[in-house]
Amino acid sequence: MSDPQQSRPHVSPPLGSPIVTVRGLTRDYEQGALTVHALAGVDLEVRRGEFTALMGPSGSGKTTLLNLVGGLDEPSSGSVQVDGQELAGMNRAQKSDLRLHRIGFVFQSYNLIPVLSALENTEFVLMLRGVPAAQRREKAMQTLQAVGLAGMEHRRPSELSGGQQQRVAVARAIAGEPALVLADEPTANLDSRTGHELIALMEKLNDDLGLTFVFATHDPKVKDAAHRVVWMEDGRIHHEEHQ
Amino acid sequence: MLAFMAWRNLWRHSRRTLITAAAMAVSVAFVMGMLAYVDGMYRKMSEVMIDQATGHVQVAHPDYATRRTLYDTVPDAATRVAALEALPDLRASTARLYGFALLGGAEETAGAQLVGVLPDREQALVPMAERIVQGRWLEGDAARQIVLGAGLAETLRVAVGDQVVAVTQASDGSLGNELYEVVGVVTSGSVTLDRTGAWLSLPDLQALLVLPDQVHELIVLTDSRESRLGDALVRDAVERVRAAVAPTTAGAPEAPELLIRPWWEVSPTTASMMTMSDSTAWLMLAIVYSVAGLGVLNTMLMSVFERTRELGVMKALGTRPAVVIRLVLWESALLGGLAALGGLVLGGALDWYLVRYGLDLTVGDGERLSSAGVLFDPIIYGVVRVDRIVITVASVLVVAVLAALWPAVRAARLRPIDAMRQD
């Protein structure tokens, strides 16, 4: 299959240009006879280099929105553009490629591949992209160093603490230098101190590399660190705060 | 990296992996042993049927195949035997003449099938000397000598050193009779021949039957030891034999066009028995491997099911469905590889045993096994063929990969968002 993203050299647009554009996005779920409106019409624009937190109570639609932006779920209506590409009409393989080349994910429960070491987990996305072994190993080593895990490269996830595992997850998300990192409750399973450290790490990556982060979170620490907080309620954007 | 991942995934449930691999290895070993045994049977059949009876290539009168009368002979036998002898790359060639006669000892008479042979050449084809139970095989010009089947000697109540008289109607209608000295008693490997067979030199039988320079069969053995139907070596030999005997035919206008056939046409019964055994062996392979395949299918389905969430994460990270399929197939192929390795060791041991000690098929009170009137040595020794082993081992890999296709496709079709919700 041809891969327009791979064949086209990726030239990063300047900081501040829109990287996510969401228009009239809805997502309905059928639950028996009931239809649940998880998203009830969301318009949102995220600009390059932003550190954005989606906040709101459980069921407000934060994770649903994140999943739709990441191409993991199909909207009922509306459109999503990521890095200038419209997701509607893309087939599974094209969405896979979009995620592989443009988006990094950090999940609540780390979700590392248990049979791979920290280094191999970090390399994984690069391997999928077809980066030569030596090159991807070097890049993964650098990234692990950047997230403070130098010396732990060969440990398996089971040999790492929760905070260390989440750092590996961050390393995996950013090793491929994606245009966007989507993080779903990344601090929820971490103690307060480790959560602080992780947020500080992501802030640093945002500052140093200009990486765009979008969080779905309940964590006030993330809220405090975010440039922009988008409050959600009942599947809609309630209001925004800029800090 | 995918292969490494697959290998490590295999050992997440090491006991399950080992049990599945062991079950498959036993299947491989069983199939290897069975094929070695079947091929051993082939070799045995080949030794008895081909070496002793039909040869790889047989030259005969065109009507001999259907009528088998005294008169359906191949003329110019000596010239043709010499022509065959001159052919390169043949194991042996000989000529035989058959006839029926009444044999009489001092006390008893019995009907006998006489086989006129060239003693040394016959010995090169069939180890008759080793089958002699009393006396010796025909030697030198063997004039007026006769070797009797053990059963016939018993019926006639004669032993080595005794004389027997043969009485028969010769080809010219005259009454042929001659006196021979019994020089040996043989168990030939054929039930019929042991009861009725008597071997004497070709010139003696030609004289008795008044068939000068004529034989019923010219027998050629090639270097082929495979006894495979349609063997290229035998096909080639048929053509070479045709070329070698044809000029003589042309030189004698009254001679009939000769019938030159490979053994599987001479003895279609043997051919069909071998085909049936072959089909049975492959059918067994298919059944055994189908069961093994179900084991792999179960293991891989379990493996994929347990890792639903992980596979969902991989897909969320951008792993294409084809890569997921490759990962699962790698796992199964490695499982198949383990099984193949184990199977080779187990099957190798089994094959070694079969080759070294054989399988004793002695029935009842030590009687030999007989099939289609031919006595078999009751111990069947295995024959190991590299091509069979390659097919057996390659098949287990193919089965492992095929059995994992469905689990692999299932894994590839997972929606990441659904898969990641699984615990």
**pLDDT confidence of residue B258:** 87
In a domain, B296, yes or no: yes
Q: Evaluate if residue A8 carries a pLDDT over 50.
A: no
Helices (H), B357-415: 386-403, 405-413
Please check whether residues B187 and B206 belong to one and the same domain. yes
**If DSSP codes are grouped into helix, strand and coil, which group holds residue B63?**
coil
**pLDDT confidence of residue B376:** 61
Q: Mind listing the pLDDT tens digit for each residue in A66-121? A: 999 999 999 999 999 999 899 998 988 899 999 999 999 998 888 999 999 999 99
In a domain, B252, yes or no: no
Q: Mind listing the pLDDT tens digit for each residue in B392-407? A: 999 999 999 999 999 9
Of A67, A99, A113, the CB nearest to B318: A99
Q: Which residues of A touch B (CB under 8 A)?
A: 67, 70, 72-73, 92-93, 96-101, 103, 105, 107, 111, 113-116, 120, 123-125, 127-128, 133, 172
Q: What is the 3-state secondary structure (H, E, C) of B27-43?
A: HHHHHHHHHHHHHHHHH
Tell me, yes or no, if B310 comes closer than 8 A to chain A by beta carbon: yes
**pLDDT confidence of residue B210:** 95
- From the options 3.60.15.10, 3.90.1660.10, 3.40.50.720, 3.40.50.300, give the CATH code of A49-71+91-242: 3.40.50.300
Please check whether residues B22 and B81 belong to one and the same domain. no
Q: Evaluate if residue A169 carries a pLDDT over 80.
A: yes
In angstroms, the separation between the Cα of residue B341 and the nearest Cα of chain A is 24
Measure the CA–CA gap between B144 and A185, rounded to whole angstroms. 107
Q: Mind listing the pLDDT tens digit for each residue in A183-223? A: 999 988 888 888 888 889 889 889 888 899 999 999 999 99
Of A107, A113, A125, the CB nearest to B318: A125
Tokens describing residue B225: 């030891």
In a domain, B315, yes or no: yes
**pLDDT confidence of residue B124:** 84
The dihedral of CA B399, B401, B402, B404: what is its sign?
A: positive
How many angstroms separate the Cα of A231 from the Cα of each of A18, A25, A64, A65? 19, 16, 14, 12
Of A73, A97, A128, the CB nearest to B417: A73
Please check whether residues B31 and B63 belong to one and the same domain. no
Nearest Cα residue to B416 out of A239, A100, A137, A143? A100
Give chain A positions within 8 Å (CB) of B4. 120
pLDDT band per the 50, 70, 90 thresholds, residue A1? very low
**pLDDT confidence of residue A7:** 40
Domain boundaries, chain A: 49-71+91-242
In a domain, B233, yes or no: no
Nearest Cα residue to B58 out of B209, B203, B234, B224? B234
Complex ipTM more than 0.85, yes or no: yes
In a domain, B237, yes or no: no
Nearest Cα residue to B59 out of B32, B33, B90, B37? B90
Q: Mind listing the pLDDT tens digit for each residue in B235-254? A: 899 999 988 887 555 555 45
In a domain, B74, yes or no: yes
User: Do the beta carbons of residue B295 and residue B398 sit within 8 Å?
Assistant: no
Measure the CA–CA gap between B12 and B127, rounded to whole angstroms. 60
| Domain extent for B317 | 2-48+272-419
Q: Indicate the range of B148-162, B178-192, B194-208, B360-374 predicted with least confidence.
A: B360-374
**pLDDT confidence of residue A60:** 92
Nearest Cα residue to A185 out of A117, A108, A84, A101? A108
Q: Indicate the range of A10-19, A178-187, B134-143, B162-171 predicted with least confidence.
A: A10-19
Please check whether residues B82 and B125 belong to one and the same domain. yes
pLDDT band per the 50, 70, 90 thresholds, residue B412? very high
User: Do the beta carbons of residue A167 and residue A194 sit within 8 Å?
Assistant: no
Split into its structural domains, chain B has a count of 2
User: Do the beta carbons of residue B198 and residue B146 sit within 8 Å?
Assistant: yes
**pLDDT confidence of residue A155:** 96
* Contact: B1, A127; criterion CB under 8 Å: yes
In a domain, B106, yes or no: yes
Measure the CA–CA gap between A177 and B378, rounded to whole angstroms. 74
Tell me, yes or no, if B369 comes closer than 8 A to chain A by beta carbon: no
In angstroms, the separation between the Cα of residue A73 and the nearest Cα of chain B is 7
Q: Indicate the range of A48-52, B16-20, B123-127, B324-328 predicted with least confidence.
A: B123-127
Of A96, A115, A133, the CB nearest to B319: A96
Q: Evaluate if residue B324 carries a pLDDT over 90.
A: yes
Please check whether residues B216 and B67 belong to one and the same domain. yes
